[in-house]
Structure 1
Amino acid sequence: MSKVAFVFPGQGAQYVGMGKDFYEQIPVSRKVYTIASEVTGLNLPGLCFKENEQIDITEYTQIAMLATEAAMLAALQEKGVKADVAAGLSLGEYGAILTAGAMSLEDVFRVVRQRGILMQKAVPTGGAMCAVLGMDGEKIAKICEETEGIVSVANYNCPGQIVITGEEGAVAAAAEKLKEAGARRCIPLKVSGPFHSEMLKGAGEKLAGVLVDVELKEFSMPYVTNVTADYVTDISEIKELLGRQVYSSVRWQQSVERMIADGVDTFIEIGPGRTLTGFLKKINKNVTGLHIEKVEELEKVVRLLCDKQ
């Protein structure tokens, strides 16, 4: 039986103007931005739609991205489109949690606002990230383990595209070893910190503290976590997993493969950019990847899914 997954991109896909047409044309989406502004004390429409430098600063990027994804999700749900499962890359996992109904909209915004602040403050000097192309993930992980210093896999994005993270010197040393071992390219990334490395463990532990008072709800549908690439089946696991997620590898390829193995054949990427749709093509060419970033794409997806049903 055909299954649909809603998937949400992470930090890095943001741009000024994202979600503006949803805000202007769809009342339920406009309401989401209003709630995000009220909860966080930030002007989310201004942050997302007007030229500014804050949108690329982690503590603002994360809430801007999540508000936009939530606004698009609300518009899709209002059309009656439902998912069988959800997942999100790093920050995008909060979109999946929202889809699953495990947290209220207000609580998701409160948590993500604090997540961005904590990660921004925790960014240590001397951190780096590097994209490794053309090499198996297990081999990359092994070479990282054998390299002196802190360096590990940050993202298993798709076959042939893995990101490593950690101390600047250790990342550089691992990159040299990876090239010698046959990696096609190792590309240093312009990022503000070594995300998803143990160097951000403190931020993850503090986020777990933020989550203590958050009320969780029983799932209306399952979601897959980055940390294990498996379904979260017990709400008591959520808070601990979200804390660990800040400094653990993002197992995106494995998450997608798990959903496909369980019958998902249509993935709808909800949010700015087409990053996840691009990864999907490299993970499995036999499934359908749809994308919602503009209102006209929303209408197209609704028509396609209605036709399939």
Structure 2
Amino acid sequence: MSTLWAFPGQGAQQPGMLHALPDAPVVQACIEQASAALSEDVRLLDSAEALQNTRAVQLCLLIAGVAAARLLSDRGHRPDYVAGLSIGAYAAAVVAGALDFADSVRLVALRGELMQRAYPNGYGMTAILGLDQGSVERLLAEAEGPVYLGNINAETQLVIAGSDPAMAVVAERARALGAACARRLAMSVPSHCELLAAPARELAAAFAKVELRSPQVRYLSGSSARLIRDPETLRDDLAYNMSRVVEWQATLVTAYERGVRLHVELPPGSVLTGLARRVFEPGQAIAFTGARLDTLDAMLRQEVSRDR
């Protein structure tokens, strides 16, 4: 049996998320490395005020995920698979040994700036729970104004992206159809749709100057739900994932079909853990956030001993 380390995307951010990480030397070294790469103190990015900015959110998610993964690695653990939802893919690529951490920090800073600049206000994302994909797509086809399918997180948990007025209309119609929830997310940009095609092309140009290596840990794309081994395919996956639909449910199913039975969600939050529990039964899903390190140690060692 195998282990998947999963890295969350935007919307999972929490004020103080970097300061809440364990006070371990490997964690502090990771934060210092990120600060050096940007020539600024990244500890200032996780305040409630700072997290209103897309650049700060994405950087904090990257740093928190990599720092926690390095802490687990320092304690003797190694994943069999990694995957990341949206910005989480960058942390996954770093942990897989395919992308240098300093390069990832600079690319993510640019990514956040490009996305924020393209849509400074009036756009975002809305989660719709309780309707299937076909029903949501019919609502989108009838909508006036820019609004698209962004995430397929579960069979009846989807996220749409677009302008606030268009999303509000779709949300209202979704509730009328019986949706359990239609809630605007803490996202200030319309990710994972064609509205971000132009920023993705700009990011791809920056990616062309960065070295990528073949992943040393199996990397599952959250956009295609496929295993990526080739560095150039990975470059495309990372640069353009902001403009591609997230296929997270399919990614979890692929992991399960490949023998993954332990899903560990890296910081912050536990949203991915809830999604994984629907797929990984009778396996296990646990979030780093809120768990004791000795509990994580025991679960990860148990999976290794089972493999033997």
Report if TM-score (shorter chain) is over 0.5.
yes
Q: Distance in 2 between matches of 1:165 and 1:17?
A: 27
Aligned 1:46-85 pairs, distance under 5 A: 46-48=44-46, 51=47, 53-85=49-81
Residue deviations 1:141-171 (CA, integer Å, cap 9, x gap): 3432343442221111223211111133432
- After superposition, what is the alpha-carbon deviation per residue over 1:106-154, rounded to whole angstroms, capped at 9, x for unaligned? 1111111111111111115442422211111233234323434422211
After TM superposition, the structure 1 = structure 2 runs for residues 1-309 of structure 1, keeping only pairs within 5 Å, are 2-20=1-19, 22=21, 24=23, 26-48=24-46, 51=47, 53-123=49-119, 125-293=121-289, 297-308=292-303, 309=305
**Over residues 154-213 of structure 1, what are the superposed CA-to-partner deviations in whole Å (9 max), with x where a residue is unaligned?**
111223211111133432343344344443332233431222222222211111111010
Q: Which amino acid aligns with 1:18?
A: M
Distance 1:149 1:19, change over 3 A: closer
Amino acid of the residue matched to residue 16 of structure 1?
P
Q: Which letter maps to 1:17?
A: G
SS at match of 1:293: coil
Aligned length: 304
How far the C-alpha of 1:29 sits from its partner, in A, is 1.2
* Alpha-carbon distance in 2 for matches of 1:181, 1:22: 42
Deviation at 1:299, TM superposition (A): 2.7
The one-letter code matched in structure 1 to 2:10 is Q
Change (3 A) 1:67 1:58: same
Contact 1:271 1:292 in 2 (8 A): yes
Compute the RMSD of aligned alpha carbons.
2.0
Change (3 A) 1:190 1:290: closer
Q: If the length of structure 2 is used for normalisation, what is the TM-score?
A: 0.91
TM-score (norm. length: structure 1): 0.90
Change (3 A) 1:189 1:15: closer
The answer (yes or no) to whether the contact 1:23–1:33 under 8 Å persists in 2 is: no
Query: Could you tell me how far apart the structure 1 residues matched to 2:158 and 2:175 are?
Result: 13
Where does structure 1 lack aligned partners over 5 or more consecutive residues? Answer: none
Compare 78-87 and 122-131 and name the one that shifted more: 122-131
The separation in 1 between residues aligned to 2:257 and 2:4, in whole angstroms, is: 12
Q: Distance in 1 between matches of 2:21 and 2:181?
A: 39
Counting aligned pairs with the same residue, the percent is 30
Rounded Cα–Cα distance in structure 1 between residues aligned with 2:289 and 2:180: 32
Unaligned runs of 5+ in 2: none
Query: Residue 100 and residue 123 in structure 1: after superposition, are their counterparts in 2 closer, same or farther (change >3 A)?
Result: same
